[in-house]
Structure 1
Amino acid sequence: MTQRTKQHPLFARFYAGFAGPALEKAGITEHRRRLLAALSGEVVEIGAGNGLNFPYYPPEVQRLVAVEPEPRLRALAERQAHAASVPAELIDGRGEQLPFPDGSFDAAVACLTLCSVADPHAALAELYRILRPGGQLRFFEHVRADSSAMRRVQRVLDATVWPLLNGGCHTGRDTQQAIAVAGFTLTGIDRFAFPESRIPLPAATHLLGTAVRPAGDTP
């Protein structure tokens, strides 16, 4: 196992066999399309999982580099890459230590990923670094809940069983604040519950949005 490789074999099987299909059934396809709409140029996606975003990249994307540390999910993503609508390359790597030069990409994508990286602030700093000035960060993430009662539930879960059962995932991260602290300018955010449910769910509050590395910030 290399330093980059991160193995969660039980979670990988669960996600590929159950969680991923369940999200598709709940209507995540619409959000994938919104997340990736109108992207172009050279794009990096961190935490690409088993490649379920690949079919929704627009043809204006000239190059897609997908980073995934979990070996089983990366192997599944490599199969998806053959049917992708854009040229896709799979890389073994972690969001906190991306193997790319400064200012390498026109856009970056984080989809249900910043909840599970070990250090989201380091990952966002890396995304900032590898984007060209004016480059976009597209994100779709579940985040800290709006209600204080659910935030208490999230804190308990994140301190106990949730990360162990879900590949390092945390339910209550303040991702919007972390993106701003990393230096990005937030240009659009949609906050909503997904999936829709009558029962309050600890990972239901989601953000879908865009942020940019300021154009005047030279590498």
Structure 2
Amino acid sequence: MPPKATAQQAGPFNLLRPLLLLSYSAYYIIPTLIALILSLNLKPLLNFSDFKDAWFARFWTFFGPLSREHAAPKVMPLLQNSARGVCLDIGPGSGQWLYLFARANNSAITKIYGVEPNVGMHKELRANATEAGLDGVYEVIGCGAQELSTKGGISPGTIDTIITVQCLCSIPTPERIIKELYPLLKPGGQWLVYEHIRTKFQGDFVATWQRTVNFVWPTFFNGCDITRPTDEWLLQAGEWDEVNLHPGVGEGKYDTVPHVIGTLIKRR
């Protein structure tokens, strides 16, 4: 059964929202091309993957703050003053949520590793870490989550908090990576989650529409796949003492990009 809404749901016109978001991303193609040519940085023009990274970095500088403002009422109760100890911040992008980890309000945090493979984001990520008073606490690791044990130097059982906010939709082989992240948590460690997921309304039009939108969505949103059953993969990753996952507030059968939000506590 689809989950019951916890707030008033949007109507059918909400199905068109992904088209608006795609148009925002498309707008930044031309400015990215111009910037690369004027700076004589022509390498991304010869490799579409490199160009997408440059394109998304420029787009996200504009759209990231807007996305944060939209999601803040849902994400803030999850993240603010919740992280503790040694933290893994997976796919932080430009660091739009780092203000929630500000050292002045989160004395329980001892270290945060920001795992961000897109080097185009690193400058702003470090700047946001400094602004949040996290100099000496926040360390950027420029590799993928799948490389943490090899290139990242993160050992099993050393992490108190894993943070994934709208990133598991984009990383390669997410089901395998979720299983690889689980052992990094200490017993009793927590996983804080706010992620895109496959709609639960599989019998409704939104399921077909979501799959249709997803044909182009990953190209315009840096590999983001909105049809992944990420919540199911998290539950299957290992044994949990506590699971508190629920749908995004007010999301229902007209949401093409729905979310799961909550916390999982690893078996002690």
TM-score normalised over the length of structure 1 = 0.85
In structure 1, how many angstroms separate the alpha carbons of the residues matched to 2:133 and 2:262? 23
Partner of 1:84: 132
1:11 equivalent in structure 2: 56
More strand by share: 1
Q: Aligned runs of 1:120-131 on 2, under 5 Å?
A: 120-131=174-185
Give the letter aligned to residue 75 of structure 2. R
Larger radius of gyration: 2
Corresponding residue for residue 206 of structure 1? 259
Taking the aligned partners of 2:263 and 2:169, their CA distance within structure 1 comes to 17
1:133 CA displacement: 1.4
Give distance in 1, aligned partners of 2:113 and 2:119: 16
Q: Deviations over 1:157-188 (max 9, x none)?
A: 33x21111110001111111000111142521
Q: Does 1:156 align with 2:212?
A: yes
Return the alpha-carbon distance in structure 1 between the equivalents of residues 246 and 107 of structure 2. Answer: 25
Residue 73 to residue 126, structure 1, CA distance change in 2 (3 Å)? same
- Residues 51-95 of structure 1 show CA distances to partners (whole Å, capped at 9, x for unaligned) of 111110223111111110101112210111112244211110111
Q: 2:90 aligns with which of 46, 51, 55?
A: 46
The alignment yields a C-alpha RMSD, in angstroms, of 2.2
Q: 41, 56, 65: which is aligned to 2:113? A: 65
Equivalent position to 2:227, from 147, 163, 172:
172
- CA contact 2:85–2:160 (8 Å) conserved in 1: yes
Please identify runs of 4+ aligned residues in structure 1 that moved more than 3 A: none
Residue type matched to 1:62 in 2?
A: T
> Matched residues, percent identical?
26
C-alpha contact 1:59 1:85 (8 A) present in aligned 2 = no
> How many residues end up aligned between the 2 structures?
205
Tell which has more relative contact order, 1 or 2 (C-alpha 8 A, sep 6+). Answer: 2
Q: Structure 1 unaligned runs (5+)?
A: 1-5
- Gaps of at least 5 residues in structure 2 are 1-48
